[in-house]
Structure 1
Amino acid sequence: MNHPAPPTLRTVTGDLPAGSVTGPALAHEHLVLDLDHRGDGAAVLDPARHTTAVTAELTSLREEFGLGLVVELTCRGMGRDVRALARIAREARIAVVAATGWYYEPFHTPEIDGSSVEELTDTLVREIAGGIGTTGIRPGVLGEIGSHGDTPTAPEAKVLRASARAALATGLSVATHAQLGRGGIAQLELLTGEGLPAHRVSIGHQDLLDDPAVHEELAASGAYVAFDTVGKDGYQSDGTRLRLLLALIEAGHADRVLLSCDISRHGYLLDEGGQGYGHLFRSFLPEVRAAGVDDELIDLMTRRNPLRFLTGARVEEIRA
């Protein structure tokens, strides 16, 4: 009798059996980034200046909480540097999954305007199959595929459709950027309209949208609901995030939750007085536990769900 191959993660240092990740994951982070359109240098994680601090934080989280995996969603036009990601992964001894795709329209790269959905799909498939640039490092997820507003713009819709087709062609999953939590249902409709199963989709930044009905609709469809800006109090309080998360759990959808902090500027690093990548573990999850959520559900949301999202695995294929 033939048994299916165990689910595998594609990381910046090579393929990894999903079952070898025994600690929690951060499902939406940035370790290297450049979104500096204002010229103030704030929305930057520079590999030359900030990698030491990033690596130190991740190492500490591995030692203290068993952090095993970071899903790094810096894609085309966002300052992606997969060689730097590989160095961080090796030095911190943490698996890192790199991404491909395009962010929301203000950060689109020039080829989008003049390319069809088919041409953009081919660009993504080539990168997934052959590696990013000349590095040989292959992305393990499509993301963070962006839109802003309740309905994606025409270029954003084109990118979402291309991402869905590339995901179907390569077996990867799609993580989105829904600006301020808006437009997630429209994103999912576009992605699934191309034939991508909802369980291969994570809708981003839903903790910024105070609308439990939307969260429940996304989760009921089978998509993952990302509460991935934990600690960013300038956008939303963690108290509100906790209320929204508990509502989703109470509705029976803990198996659709992804959690992370989305560190997207150097001022968020511990080294610079920010909340750091560990805010989820040090501050937010203790509040979740205090609200009555047990360790089995914490493990589901922080480890098994990210692994299932990335690989498309069934619940029983990722060990409790």
Structure 2
Amino acid sequence: MYIQTVLGQIQPEELGICACHEHLYVDLSRIKKNEDTCLQDTGLVLDDLQSFYAYGGRAIVEVTNDGMGRDANKLAEISKTANIHIIASTGCYKDPFIPEEKLQWNRDQFAEWMIREIQHGIADTGIKPGVIGEIGSSLNEFKPIETELFHGAIAAAKKTGLPLSTHTTLGTCALEQIELFTREGMPLNQIIIGHQDLNEQDEVVLEVLKSGAYVAMDTIGKENYRSDKARLESILKFIERGYEDQLLLSTDLTRKSHLRALGGQGYDVVLRVFVPSLRDRGITDAVINKLLAANPQRAFSIRKAGDILA
């Protein structure tokens, strides 16, 4: 097993403390029509990452994919400058962010393209993705193109062994995603179900955890969606029920205004604010190490290395 970063392969134990769902170079403004959603100032991002590093952060899973302004070369530059491992993504996001030239694609076309990127690199960069993600469903539904995208992602994940990280709009469709993966025979320990801290139905999230999938509590600090106090209570409940080995943490920065220099939470919010809150509630350092380091090391390990070189 190994982890594929933008600078090459590393052993899982080299990953260190890892944010499981972030954006370092992203542009959603084509759809959102808001310049704040174009986060492509690498100088500001690098400044913000200095604090993430100072608090112990050593790795970031960067789930910006095709249609979201992905730039693999920029990620390699950021990785070198910040001295942080970065895992890049293949795939597409969700409707309406899928690139125009892929809007009529079927599952086989999506799968073939993702497998090609995984085996040979993104575009002509030679930089290989280490995760399929973030693959998304819409609010309370799968649009037809999203269904094709999910099936393509499943085929690519089965072929290559890459982890598959999902987007659930406001936490919805988590169980529907699990049902799809189960129906298609996808190993659920290869799946990370995203944005479940936005799912206020703890019993639903517990069902997802019971399936064996990883659950990303990955919008920490975005209190306009849900308070971090409520997120904390949910995580405490999941830990109490015995799921400490399946939880991942992150903050999902997508806007310039999310950077600390511009008044936002910053990439360090989990380490700077949320982890101390966990400690205050009696969560041990051993469990915290699982959430920040041991769980991401397992979740983002590639299991079938031979297939990737095929």
**What do the CA deviations read for 1:214-236 (whole angstroms, capped 9, x no partner)?**
11111111001110000001111
Name the TM-score, length of structure 1 as normaliser.
0.92
Aligned residue number for residue 94 of structure 1: 84
* Partner Cα separation in structure 2 for residue 60 and residue 68 of structure 1: 11
**What do the CA deviations read for 1:35-88 (whole angstroms, capped 9, x no partner)?**
012433011111xxx2112112223322x2221110000001000011110000
Same amino acid, percent of matched pairs: 39
Conserved 8 A contact 1:157-1:190? no
| Residue from 11, 15, 25 that aligns with 1:17 | 11
Q: Following TM superposition, where does structure 1 have runs of at least 4 consecutive aligned residues deviating by more than 4 angstroms?
A: none
Conserved 8 A contact 1:69-1:95? yes
User: Gapped runs of 5+ residues in structure 1?
Assistant: 1-6, 314-320
CA distance 1:312–1:85, shift in 2 (3 Å):
closer
Structure with more contact order per residue of length (Cα contacts < 8 Å, sep ≥ 6): 2
SS in structure 1 of the partner of residue 225 of structure 2: coil
Conserved 8 A contact 2:55-2:272? no
| Residue from 278, 285, 303 that aligns with 1:288 | 278
Aligned residue number for residue 3 of structure 1: none
Counterpart AA for 2:234? L
Q: How many residue pairs get matched?
A: 302
* Partner Cα separation in structure 2 for residue 175 and residue 141 of structure 1: 7
Conserved 8 A contact 1:112-1:155? no
Conserved 8 A contact 2:158-2:186? yes
| Residue from 230, 238, 248 that aligns with 2:238 | 248
* Partner Cα separation in structure 2 for residue 193 and residue 132 of structure 1: 30
**What do the CA deviations read for 1:127-150 (whole angstroms, capped 9, x no partner)?**
111111110001000000011123
Counterpart AA for 1:255? D
List aligned pairs for 1:64-213, cutoff 5 A. 64-213=54-203
* Structure 1 position 27 matched with structure 2 position 30: no
| Residue from 56, 60, 70 that aligns with 2:51 | 60
SS in structure 2 of the partner of residue 208 of structure 1: coil
| Residue from 250, 259, 264 that aligns with 2:254 | 264
Deviation (angstroms), 1:195: 2.0
Deviation (angstroms), 1:24: 1.0
Please give the root-mean-square deviation of Cα atoms over the aligned residues, in Å: 1.2
CA distance 1:237–1:184, shift in 2 (3 Å):
same
Deviation (angstroms), 1:312: 5.7
**What do the CA deviations read for 1:198-224 (whole angstroms, capped 9, x no partner)?**
111111100011111111111111001
* Partner Cα separation in structure 1 for residue 236 and residue 166 of structure 2: 22
Conserved 8 A contact 1:152-1:187? no
**What do the CA deviations read for 1:97-141 (whole angstroms, capped 9, x no partner)?**
000111111111224332221121101101111111110001000
User: Gapped runs of 5+ residues in structure 2?
Assistant: 304-310
Conserved 8 A contact 2:171-2:197? yes
Conserved 8 A contact 1:165-1:194? no
